[in-house]
């Protein structure tokens, strides 16, 4: 208010000076000018000064209003975020699904929330999860066979549906692999139980899947991994449900750590580029694995690997010989 008052006073003073000064100067310098002409010219100059002040005042008012709207928008967004996170703890599956979609929608309309929303979705997937078709046994019956009541089975199916929604929303929020301008978001899914996890054609920062359980078919093809990738101790398929991994035409720009991973199903790394350090040491491949036309430009550790079938390294190139403790089939 003080700045506005000072500006108004200054504008009036300048307008009066312009009116008097220009009118007087015109009468003195131009003998042909009449008093009316001088006043009219001075008045135009004074009016221009007042108009400029009005424009400045209007622009200031507009910027103040925009700031107010921005603060209000941020406040509403914060409230939406807090409310959605709170609803994730609801017992009703439709409420949880709605909360997941609300978080994803918030990230789409407010890109500043994207990283936080992805972290929340990953946290939701890290929650313990059991399902009868995985061979999990929550009751540990005396005869060793899993015992699931009909109600427990139904509850497990509902939770699985919610988790699949969370997985899909994470993928939807990640940028395309060829989008150079978009940021690369990190995924922390340590110990998460995942099924049909599909990150194909996405750009990702670092990925942590240590001791995670990946069941059914999981796809990482054509991904661009800009940060380190950790799958140490992960299990691909377990119990009654096997697992498959497709990681074809992907690019690992940093470290790719697959040490101690248990692949119960087939795995394909065809045409994938490993630009950083790679480690498959102590992994077990219970089915067919292929590295056809893959490229290793960094050091590779392939020691103590257990192959159920001979691996396929046809067309694979190595910048340096891989570390092995025995000749590998196919090399």
What pLDDT digit, counting tens, does each position of 158-206 carry? 999 999 999 999 999 999 999 999 999 999 999 999 999 999 999 999 9
Output the pLDDT for position 90: 84
Query: Which of 207, 209, 288, 218 is closest to 251 using CA atoms?
Result: 207
Q: How far apart are CA 235 and CA 191, in angstroms?
A: 10
Q: How far apart are CA 118 and CA 70, in angstroms?
A: 23
Kindly tell me if the per-residue pLDDT of 142 is higher than 50: no
Kindly tell me if the per-residue pLDDT of 6 is higher than 50: yes
Query: Do 20 and 39 form a contact (C-beta atoms < 8 A)?
Result: no
The DSSP call for residue 184 is P
159 contacts: CB under 8 Å, gap ≥ 6 = 93, 129, 131
Token pair, residue 193, equals 């139980």
Output the pLDDT for position 12: 73
User: Which of 39-43, 148-152, 262-266 has the least mean pLDDT?
Assistant: 39-43
How many Å from the N-terminal Cα to the C-terminal Cα in the chain? 80
Q: Maximum distance among all alpha carbons in the chain?
A: 120
Kindly tell me if the per-residue pLDDT of 75 is higher than 80: no
At which residue do the structure tokens 């395309």 appear? 176
Percent of the chain topping pLDDT 70: 79
Q: How far apart are CA 138 and CA 77, in angstroms?
A: 40
Kindly tell me if the per-residue pLDDT of 24 is higher than 70: no
Output the pLDDT for position 39: 65
Output the pLDDT for position 54: 78
Q: How far apart are CA 158 and CA 187, in angstroms?
A: 24
The DSSP call for residue 112 is G
Q: How far apart are CA 289 and CA 225, in angstroms?
A: 21
Q: How far apart are CA 257 and CA 225, in angstroms?
A: 12
Token pair, residue 117, equals 């929303």
Looking at the DSSP bridge assignments, the partners of residue 318 are 296
């Amino acid at each position: 208010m003080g700045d506005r008052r000072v500006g108004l006073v200054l504008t009036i003073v300048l307008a009066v000076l312009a009116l008097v000064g220009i009118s007087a100067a015109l009468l003195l310098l131009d003998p042909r000018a009449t008093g009316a002409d001088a006043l009219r010219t001075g008045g135009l100059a004074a009016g221009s000064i007042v108009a400029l002040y009005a424009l400045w005042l209007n622009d200031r008012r507009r910027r103040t209003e925009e700031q107010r709207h921005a603060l209000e928008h941020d406040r509403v967004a914060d409230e939406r975020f807090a409310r959605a996170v709170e609803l994730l703890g609801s017992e009703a599956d439709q409420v949880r699904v709605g909360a997941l979609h609300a978080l994803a929608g918030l990230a789409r309309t407010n890109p500043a929330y994207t990283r936080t929303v992805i972290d929340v979705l990953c946290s939701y997937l890290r929650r313990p999860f059991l399902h009868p078709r995985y061979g999990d046994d929550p009751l540990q019956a005396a005869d060793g066979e899993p015992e699931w009541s009909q109600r427990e089975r139904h509850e497990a199916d509902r939770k699985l549906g919610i988790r699949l929604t969370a997985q899909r929303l994470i993928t939807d929020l990640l940028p395309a692999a060829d989008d150079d301008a978009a940021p690369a978001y990190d995924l922390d899914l340590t110990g998460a139980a995942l099924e049909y996890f599909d990150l194909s054609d996405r750009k990702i920062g670092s990925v942590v899947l240590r001791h995670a359980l990946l069941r059914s078919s999981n796809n990482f093809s054509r991904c661009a991994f800009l940060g380190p990738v950790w799958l140490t101790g992960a299990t691909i398929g377990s119990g009654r449900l096997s697992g498959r991994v497709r990681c074809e035409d992907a690019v690992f720009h940093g470290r790719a750590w697959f040490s101690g991973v248990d692949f119960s199903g087939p795995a394909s790394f065809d045409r994938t580029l490993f630009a950083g350090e790679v480690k498959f040491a102590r992994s077990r491949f219970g089915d067919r694995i292929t590295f056809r036309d893959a490229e290793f430009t960094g050091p590779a550790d392939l020691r103590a690997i257990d192959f159920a079938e001979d691996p396929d390294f046809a067309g694979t190139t190595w910048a340096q010989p891989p570390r092995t403790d025995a000749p590998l089939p196919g090399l």
